[in-house]
Structure 1
Amino acid sequence: MASAQGTSLGSLGKLTELRQRIFFVIGALIVFRLGSFIPVPGVNPEAMTNLIEQGGGLMNMFNMFSGGSLARFSVFALGVVPYISASIVVQMMGSVIPSLQALRKEGEAGRRKMTTYTRFGTVGLAAFQAFGIAVALQKQVAQGGAPVVYTPGMGFILASVVGLTAGTLFLMWLGEQITERGIGNGISLLIFAGIVAGLPGAVAHTLSMASNGELSVIKMLLVVAVILGVTAFVVFMERAQRRITVNYARRSGGQRAYMNQTSHLPLKVNMAGVIPPIFASSLLMFPTTAATWFGQGHQSRWITELTQALIPGEPLYDIIFAVLVITFAFFYTAIVFNSQETADNLKRSGALIPGIRPGRSTADYIDNVMTRLTGVGALYLVLVCLVPSFMQKAWHVPFYFGGTSLLIVVVVVMDFTAQVQAHLVSHQYESLLKKANLRRN
């Protein structure tokens, strides 16, 4: 009786831990939303909002990623984009520079060192972007002639650099705390919260357009159908795997003999996740930033025209975006997945792929399969990210999420659900083990 009571108390404790993790995530997201309303001093909020609305699709997209912080020019205006960019750069350098390659092989100590480099890179990128934005805003005038910055000068630049950099570092720390003490990837959840924050307003705006007759019922149903279709397609592709058959050699010893066992090596179709679209969008943001640096003068007409051509939905933007997504998909997959290391692990465990020799031949076979899968995954990312943009451009249909943001939302929700289920399964597994021990005793 006492043992059964102890088991039930252990189960309750496990569920309480899961509940505490979920509450921690909710509390952290509330802090993130509250911080997005703390403005950097010296900016005219109405003029800043009008400027973002005039800035085109890229400005609106990054404003959406930050949960509206960019339009309010809050301390979280840069979001976690500098951290993501620094992380990708450090990972890329880790696959090229020998000293960083050695760090990656040192286990936990090496990972901590790489994390330190990522944090320093985040500080540098955030400070650089904050300085560029502050300098650019001093030259901007919104519609009606209202200046965006009340008192331009070094005081405003210094306050912006310190405020925006501190906000990015706080979000970096908050994301790490969510990953450690909550459930899911903290950085992804912060991006998810920023995107979803504007969803109620977008739904209300769409319904008001439908009630006023600005949006027909057919177009509204089309929007809903496309959202559901793209969501189902993303779920299907994110769960898609190529399972390579693996045979384990017979093992015998003592009184037990193990016959040949067959298993599978699962390879995801989209191994790179949502990193390629995010990084491609970040790179395409630089021409817009450069245009604001050089102003609206005659000498910068060519870069202004280039900026206009790099608006989502324009042919040049779509072509460059597709090329960047495909390139980063292959490059990032090569970073996170090592076919030679996988082949060595199979060889050490006594496993082999039928018809393929262990060692180098196995690595080449896995690499060829992974290359074909990455090609399919890259085309899938391009399709999901660009189809909603085509719909917006051709039919003038209000589609709040867009392809990249919808992809991020669906993937983050799937990852969060999977981790919650993993916690529940581990809890059930521990309960079964305890019951089995009780019965033996």
Structure 2
Amino acid sequence: MNKFITTIKNIFAIEDLRTRILNTLFFIAIYRLGSYVVLPGVDPSRLDNKSGGIFGILDTLLGGAFSHASIFALGIMPYISASIVLQLLTIAVPYFQKLQKEGESGRKKINQYTRLLTIPIVMAQSIGFIATINQDALVNPGMFFTVSTMVILTAGTLFCMWLGEKITDKGIGNGISMIIMIGIVSRFPGAILGEAAAKGMRGSLIFLIELAVLFFVVMGVIILTQAVRRIPVQYAKQVGGVSQINAQRQFIPLKVNAAGVMPIIFAQSLMFIPAIVASAWQQDSETATYIGQKFSDYTSWQYNLVFGILIVLFTYFYTAISVNPKQIADDLKRSGGFVPGVKPGDATSEYIDEVLTHITLPGALALALIAIFPAIALLFGVTRPFSAFYGGTSLIIMVGVVLDTMNQIESYLLMRHYDGMMKTGKLKGRTQNIALAS
């Protein structure tokens, strides 16, 4: 406890870090306040409680802004959709591939295209959102309400983007990820209180077991997020003038889950298609009715089987486009590094690709298990709001953002010669030596 208090004092003793933390809290407070500002022309007392299916997932990621029909009802999600589209374009379109290789200037152009693409996406999604609002909750439905709501929702999303950028520049952590995480975390107190109330005094032991399971699930996600396979790299001795630089031994850290949360996001977006298509044919076909029922229920084994397979496939796909063994091997060769026992060049590229293939399979299976764990928790009697924190997109985003934020705070402390946040020093897995020359 003394270590924790000392660390807090050290954090607030650094003026720059203290200012950034306060700025982050201020911007987060603005975002949470806007999440409760209801759209003009909507009666909040007549709104439906969207707690299941896609609406429940969106509402969890947006911290209740969706169900409140607030001006931030779509939040940052259209920007995330635009980012995914741009990432896919960098694979298929040569122009965007060229921009990606141009360094900082190319990234700025891609970010600008992402912002521009966000506008039509949020306008299209705002039409869908208006359709989900209970018509009884609309004070004066009509064309004016539709157009004004589209404008307000678009402005709200753009304002959330601006807040995210301000958090990145003036605060601590990645702003966009921080906004998503805050929306998720804001639901946790209500979810845990609701679970405790549902279990009551008679179910207090079961509630404690659920908390223990949640703890181990979080630890498992942290391990998956931090896990790396270190490939040793040796640098030959270099002679400079009269001095000789000894050979250096470093590592290439290949992450077990290099794809992060993207496979779950891609797979989740595809899982809505069968239910939507089946709903158009369910009146004329029993098979379509069966498919629509099973794929609308995320606790069914059919849904989770297909969901898990898609996550494994997308993990391999996203890892393949985000980690380039050929480029790593070429960078090593130019910098005079080599993997002991492996020839430089193509042999090194094949070796790295083989290692990456081997570690991606357990990472993909673990990611699939985490994704379907909320459904498993729901089947064991956990309430729907609380089960969302047992895995899936929500938990992985929370763990990733917290670890990245802690790593930034750790860097500030170590630069000012303070002890780190952990007894063992640096956060393992986040500050590995990278054996690639810039």
Distance 1:105 1:256, change over 3 A: same
Q: Distance in 2 between matches of 1:170 and 1:332?
A: 30
Separation in 2, partners of 1:201, 1:136: 24
Counterpart of 1:399 (choices 387, 410, 425) is 387
Q: State the superposition RMSD in angstroms.
A: 2.8
2: CA distance between counterparts of 1:255 and 1:351? 22
Q: 2:301: which partner in 1?
A: 315
Q: Which residue of 2 aligns with 1:15?
A: 14
State which of 180, 183, 187 in structure 2 corresponds to 1:191.
180
Q: Which residue of 1 aligns with 2:257?
A: 270
- The residue type paired with residue 167 of structure 2 is I
Runs of 4+ in 1 over 4 A off after TM superposition: 11-14, 285-292, 296-305
Task: Tell me which residue corresponds to 1:59.
Answer: 55
Distance, in Å, in 2 between the alignment partners of 1:349 and 1:150 is 67
Counterpart of 2:376 in structure 1 is 390
Between the aligned partners of 2:64 and 2:308, the Cα distance in structure 1 is 26
The secondary structure found in structure 2 opposite 1:395 is coil
For residues 15 and 131 of structure 1, what CA distance do their matches in structure 2 show?
47
- Classify 1:409/1:58 alpha carbon distance in 2 versus 1 (closer, same or farther; 3 Å): same
Q: Does 1:342 align with 2:328?
A: yes
Task: State the match for 1:161 in structure 2.
Answer: 150
1:269 touches 1:374 (CA, 8 Å); kept in 2?
yes
CA gap of 1:305–1:360, structure 2 versus 1, over 3 A, is closer
Q: What residue in structure 2 maps to residue 415 of structure 1? A: 404
Moved more, 164-173 or 241-250: 164-173
Once the 2 structures are TM-superposed, how far is the Cα of residue 343 of structure 1 from its aligned partner? 1.1
Q: Which residue of 2 aligns with 1:437?
A: none
8 Å contact from structure 1 (residues 14, 427) kept in 2: no
1:246 touches 1:353 (CA, 8 Å); kept in 2? yes
Which residue is 2:46 aligned to? 47
Letter in 2 for 1:43: V
Which structure has the larger Rg? 1
- 1:214-241 Cα shifts (integer Å, max 9, x gaps): xx13321221111111011112222211
Q: Is the 8 A contact 2:275 2:291 kept in 1?
A: no
Structure 1 residue identity aligned to 2:196: L
Establish whether residue 96 from structure 1 lines up as the match of residue 92 from structure 2. Answer: yes
- Residue in structure 2 matched with residue 144 of structure 1 by the alignment: none
Distance 1:186 1:286, change over 3 A: farther
- For the 8 Å contact 2:28–2:179, the answer to whether it is kept is yes
- Taking structure 1 as reference, are residues 321 and 160 closer, same or farther at Cα in structure 2, changes over 3 Å only? farther
Displacement of 1:20: 0.8
Long gaps (5+) in structure 2: 1-9, 419-438
Matches of residues 213-252 of structure 1 in structure 2 within 5 Å?
213=202, 216-252=203-239
CA contact (8 A) 1:40 1:159 kept: no
Of the candidates 78, 85, 89, which is equivalent to residue 81 of structure 2?
Answer: 85
Aligned partners of 1:245 and 1:264 also within 8 Å: yes
**Judging changes above 3 Å, is the alpha-carbon distance between structure 1 residues 43 and 94 closer, same or farther for their aligned structure 2 residues?**
same
Instruction: Determine if the alignment matches structure 1 residue 35 to structure 2 residue 34.
Output: yes
Q: What is the SS of the residue equivalent to 2:75?
A: coil
| Post-superposition offset of 1:303 | 7.2
**Equivalent pairs, count:** 405
Unaligned runs of 5+ in 1: 1-10, 142-146, 430-441
Judge which range, 225-234 or 387-396, deviates more: 387-396
189-198 vs 320-329, which deviates more?
Answer: 320-329
Partner of 2:313: 327
Q: 1:400 to 1:87 in 2, by over 3 A?
A: closer
TM-score by length of 1: 0.84
The alpha-carbon deviation at position 355 of structure 1 amounts to 1.9
Contact 1:247–1:352 at 8 Å: present in 2 too?
yes
Cα shift at 1:38: 1.2
Q: CA deviation at 1:34?
A: 0.3
Paired with 2:132 and 2:189, the residues of 1 have a C-alpha distance of: 31
**Is the 8 Å Cα contact of residues 85 and 279 (structure 1) preserved in structure 2?**
no
- Superposed displacement of residue 299, structure 1: 7.5
SS in 1 for 2:391: helix
Given that 2:278 and 2:291 are in contact with CA atoms closer than 8 Å, whether structure 1 keeps it comes out as no
Q: Distance in 1 between matches of 2:361 and 2:388?
A: 28
Q: So what's the TM-score if we normalise by structure 2?
A: 0.85
Deviations 1:43-65 (A, max 9, x none): 33233233x14xx2432221111
Task: Answer 1 or 2: which has greater helix percent.
Answer: 1
